Homo-oligomer: A and B are copies of this chain.
């Protein structure tokens, strides 16, 4: 896990069970850096490198990591894939195809569920995901070490992900399968005045608006016949209730209707 205070702050406690990402024989340092960046976006911090082609550390990696350099500083380097996965209890091998191996093939969502299931069974368990080198992917000996295959279903007519993009999709699927940071949608506490403007209008406030509108439409012969009136009114009410106006919206609509009537007849 994260070694420094600063990384701990960035990743948060929620990343404890994040899977390890194991890059097997990665070629370009730049790609390793971009993988680190993709991982940290998803609170995945355990980066492992198997025999990186250009040695380690690699300044090109840091340059491409956009601030996720602490993952690189903490990256563990191994000579073989076997050593890199030694402490893991569940390992997935990312490949474009099943390669004729008799293993389950999971898409990123199924893989995320499987990882969470393993972690739920025992918080001490640690999962990992293997990614092969840019040129040729994983070789069969690497895949043989995995419990299952992870395959990203893409457009069969155009499958062209780079390494960091594959890492991003897999890590994001993990993050969002059981998002430890939800609910993200909760807005920040707004200022008091803003809070009022954003507050949904009450049914009574909408009703008052619609009553005013109805009487004005009546005055201007909108409802051509008594028969049509109920249907037309229902359509209007449906629209305004369905649109869930805020208090500010209701004030604006009063203003609009009043203005359109030449500011005369609106009560």
Contacts and interface: CB of A to CB of B under 8 A. Distances in A.
Interface residues of A, number: 74
A82 interface: no
Number of copies: 2
Contacts of A259: 217, 220-222
Contacts of A107: 176, 179, 184-185
A26 interface: no
A44 B263 CA distance: 49
Contacts of A252: 232, 235-236, 239
A216 B263 CA distance: 13
Nearest to A109: B176
Interface of A: 9-12, 15, 37-38, 40-43, 66-68, 98, 100, 102, 105, 107-109, 151-161, 165, 168-169, 172, 175-176, 179, 181-182, 184-185, 187, 190, 194, 198, 213, 216-217, 220-222, 232, 235-236, 239, 242-246, 248-249, 252-253, 255-257, 259-263
